[in-house]
Structure formats: C-alpha cells, structure tokens
Structure 1
Amino acid sequence: MKNQKVDIIEISWELFFQFGIKSVTMDDIASKLGISKKTIYQHFKNKNDLVEQAIEWQINHPLFSFQSEEISHLNAIDQYIEFYKFIVNQIANSCESIRYDLRKYYPKLWNKFHLTKLTTFQNELSQNLEKGIQEGLFRPEINVEWISKTMARFYMNMAESDTLILEKEDISNIEYHRELGLYHLHGVCTIKGMEYVKNNFK
C-alpha cells in the first residue's frame, strides 16, 4: 500500500502536469487529496521541496515503461502500440507551461530530469527493438542504436520552442501520432510484423 507522502507526490505531479507548476498552489493539492495543507507540510518543507521530490520521484518511477508488469509479456509490436496510446493520453492531458516552469524556475532539476528521461527512453526503445528482432517481427538488419536515439530525441524535444519544427496543433493531433507510429513500424517490421500491424494497429 502506498503511503501518504507518495500519494501527495503523485497527485501533485498530476496537477503540475495538467496546469503547470506555478499555477498550482498547496491549497489546490490539499483540496484534491481531501487533506489539510498542514498535513502536506508534515512531509515537505515548502512547495519547492515538494516540486524537487516530485521530479525525483518521476525520474525513478516513470509513468510508462516497456518493462512494466502490465506490458512486459506482450510482443514488441503490442508493446509499441501501448506506448503510442500512452503518448496520445499524455498529449491530451498535458500543459505546455510545465516545461516552461521547470526550465525557468528549476533549471538544474530540469536538466537532470530531461537528460535522465532521454537516456532511459532511448534504452527502453532499444530493448523494444531488440525484442522485436528476436521475435521475428522487426528486421534484423536495422540499426537499433540509431533508431532508438533518433526516436528518443524526437519525442523528448518535439515541443522545444528553440528547435520547433512542428506546429503546436500538429503536436497535439492524435492522428499525427498514429501516422508517426505507423511510419516507424513500417520502417522496422518484417513481412510477418507488418501482417500483425495490419490486424492490430487500430
């Protein structure tokens, strides 16, 4: 069973993700949890402390992992489909200002968070590609390192204003991400893999 501190961290991150860090108050968090603000301060010195611990928590407990119990037993294509669904859900519920707030007010934490997420994401994509190769669903000649590195950087940086190559409406377009997912699978799948995609990627 999760303890109260973890509940506070998870709900706080959910609110930060939806509304931005600066917009969310300790009163908002307490109200969402149905507890007093005093109870929050029993676990955290102040809001900055809560933000720092929430980021550390997210680094160590990613919201999505190809290795999670829920999807580790699936084949590589089904795992990637779950990843696509996760991305679509994140886009539908995200707030642009969280990245801005982290970069402006917590630059050191942002750099650590971003770099760790990037490295972890690339490693997970590599494992997914290797799994697909072993299952005969992905082509054995693909360059796993290059593909995983390119995809990780694309997804992690697609919304960065200084390197923005997509319109904001494209980034939030669910159909765009479906096409991107199909583009990736068409590039890495064997004939066997593509048959599976045609029957399962909806």
Structure 2
Amino acid sequence: MNEQKDNIISTSSALFFQYGIKSVTMDDIASKMGISKKTLYQFFSNKRELIDQVCEWQLSNPKFSFKSDQIVKLNALDQYFEFFKFVNEILQQKSDTLDYDLKKYYPKIWDKFKDAKIKQFYTEILYNLQKGIDEEFYRSELNIDFISKNLVSFYLNLSITEYQVFSSDEVFNRNTHRELTLYHLYGICTNKGIEYFENKFK
C-alpha cells in the first residue's frame, strides 16, 4: 500500500475511534495530516470509501493478537495476562462511538466489519485455549468452541444498553474485568494453571 495512503487510514482510524465517524470530516482528517483535501481525494473518492478501508485496515492490523511477535512465544496464561492488560487500557478510553456510528450511518459496512471482527476474535480466543490445553495449564475436557463464543459475545456486547445489567461505570471498570478474568481462569485452569496464575495475581 502507498505509504501516504496507509498513514491517512491509520490517522483516520485513530480519529474515528476517539471522536466517532459522524463528527470527523474529511477536512478534519486533511488538517490532522497536514495535507490538502484534494490530496485526500486522490486516494479516496468519498468518506464512505475511506471508512470501508479503515475497517479493513483495523482487521488487518488488530490492536491485540495472541499470535503477535511480542507474545507468541509466551505460554497461554502469560498471553492471557497480556490480553488482560490490553482490555484494561481499552476500558479506560470508554469509547464505543465508532461502532455506534457504523451501525447507524453505514449499516452495510458495519455488517461486514462486525462479522469479520467476531470471526477474528473467536479465532484468537480459540487459539489461546488450545495452546493452554497443550501446555496443561487449561483442562483438556473443555468445550473450547463454547467458551470462545461466550467470551466473544461478552466482550463485543459490553456497551449494548438494551439488556445491560452492569452500569456504565461498572462496564468500564478495571475491577469488573479483573473479576471476569478470575472467573474465567478458575473455570478453565488445571491445578497447575491455577497455581501459576494465582502467583501472577498476588
């Protein structure tokens, strides 16, 4: 990909995440990049095309992956601790505007992005669970398909308000995520795994 185009996409992604898609204009992006709007339109014919490519870029450049170079060599539990830290960082940002705007203003892009995001997250969790079983940190009899889908459903629906049991403050609270993590790990770990993660959480 053209380097300037890639920079535009990554910058737009950050702006959309911070302020939402609706409130960020092509002028805002051009200004942030220090380029003219004419230059912007050399790469994207309209905002919809830019949004579509931002979504594709986000899927190709996930903010977290169990298979990333930084953590792929860690054991499954240490990998999950990295996931725990990543989610804590995301929770502090308290932003779900991007998903909301996609659903409301660009439903076709949202449907494609949502389905790909679910599949990607599911595959990631499945990978960690199988790795933990192979390392004897997680119980071998686990239904890893069910657990993966359960975790994906929980995390991707955190901000849905229609059936929200947790308050907004609880949803974006580190203690809530810590309790969920402990609940998850005590449910899936072998004695070996429990001993290992209890030492980590002390």
Residue type of the partner of 2:90?
A: Q
Report the count of equivalent residues: 202
1:79 is displaced (CA, Å) by: 0.8
Matched residue, 1:46: 46
Deviations 1:143-186 (A, max 9, x none): 11111111111111121233323221111111211221121111
CA distance in 2, matches of 1:31, 1:174: 35
The yes-or-no answer on 1:91 pairing with 2:91 is yes
Matched residue, 2:26: 26
Matched residue, 1:11: 11
Residue type of the partner of 1:191?
A: N
Percentage of pairs with the same residue: 51
Task: Decide whether the 8 Å contact of 1:137 with 1:193 is kept in 2.
Answer: yes
Matched residue, 1:116: 116
Instruction: Compare 69-78 and 161-170 and name the one that shifted more.
Output: 161-170
Secondary structure of the residue aligned to 2:162 is helix
Task: Decide whether the 8 Å contact of 2:16 with 2:24 is kept in 1.
Answer: yes
1:94 is displaced (CA, Å) by: 4.4
What is the TM-score when the length of structure 2 is the normalising length? 0.92
Consecutive aligned runs of 4 or more in structure 1 exceeding 6 Å deviation? none
1:115 is displaced (CA, Å) by: 1.4
Task: Decide whether the 8 Å contact of 2:94 with 2:172 is kept in 1.
Answer: no
Matched residue, 2:78: 78
Map of 1:1-202 to 2, 5 A cutoff? Answer: 3-201=3-201
What is the TM-score when the length of structure 1 is the normalising length? 0.92
Residue type of the partner of 1:196?
A: Y
Task: Decide whether the 8 Å contact of 2:22 with 2:101 is kept in 1.
Answer: yes
Instruction: Compare 90-99 and 4-13 and name the one that shifted more.
Output: 90-99
Task: Decide whether the 8 Å contact of 1:17 with 1:94 is kept in 2.
Answer: no
1:104 is displaced (CA, Å) by: 0.8
Superposition RMSD in Å: 1.8
Secondary structure of the residue aligned to 1:160 is coil
CA distance in 1, matches of 2:15, 2:89: 15
